[in-house]
């Protein structure tokens, strides 16, 4: 199985990570701060946006890959993945001081993670397993 959703979204996440790092680097350069935040609030905010992305994205990508591997691609999974990426973009901008974007980013991230976690548990406890394009139910003796 190719895991198309996970591959595309992981690539998008890598690009988003680079974008967040560049935003930190621009403030570092303009403020001449090599290490730490130098007491600069904007730098602190951008560093936290980047760190926050790095904290949540691995869990998201692992859940996305495992759900896609176990159950296959679906519109629901595409929607969740796109919502996560849009939420992380909003959060990045929101950390510059736009509380509505930050709240949307935080809420959408937590919603997607919760949804994927619940979906993963349902798959794990349903007794069904995905094989190719067929779903089979396991029988316990």
| Closest by CA position to 10, among listed 52, 61, 70, 53 | 61
Helix (H, G, I), strand (E, B) or coil at 141: coil
CA 111 to chain centre: 11
Ordered DSSP codes for 78-91 = HHHHHHHHHHHHHH
Pair 67, 30: CB distance under 8 Å: no
Cα(2)–Cα(6) distance, integer angstroms: 9
pLDDT for 141? 47
What count of Cα atoms within 13 Å lies in the side-chain half-sphere of residue 127?
Answer: 5
pTM of the model: 0.84
Q: What is the pLDDT of residues 36-48, one digit of tens each?
A: 778 888 999 999 9
Q: Which residue has tokens 């680079």? A: 18
Quote the pLDDT of residue 102.
97
How large is the average pLDDT for residues 74-96?
96
């Amino acid at each position: 199985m190719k895991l198309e959703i996970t591959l595309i979204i992981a690539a998008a996440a890598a690009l988003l990570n680079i974008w967040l790092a560049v935003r930190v680097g621009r403030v570092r350069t303009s403020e001449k701060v090599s290490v730490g935040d130098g007491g600069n609030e904007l730098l602190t905010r951008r560093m936290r946006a980047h760190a926050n992305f790095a904290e949540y994205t691995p869990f998201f990508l692992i859940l996305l890959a495992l759900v896609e591997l176990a159950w296959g691609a679906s519109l629901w999974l595409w929607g969740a993945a796109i919502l996560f990426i849009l939420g992380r973009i909003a959060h990045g901008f929101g950390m510059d001081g736009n509380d509505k974007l930050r709240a949307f980013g935080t809420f959408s991230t937590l919603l997607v993670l919760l949804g994927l976690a619940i979906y993963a548990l349902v798959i794990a406890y349903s007794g069904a397993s995905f094989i190719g394009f067929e779903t089979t139910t396991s029988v316990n003796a």
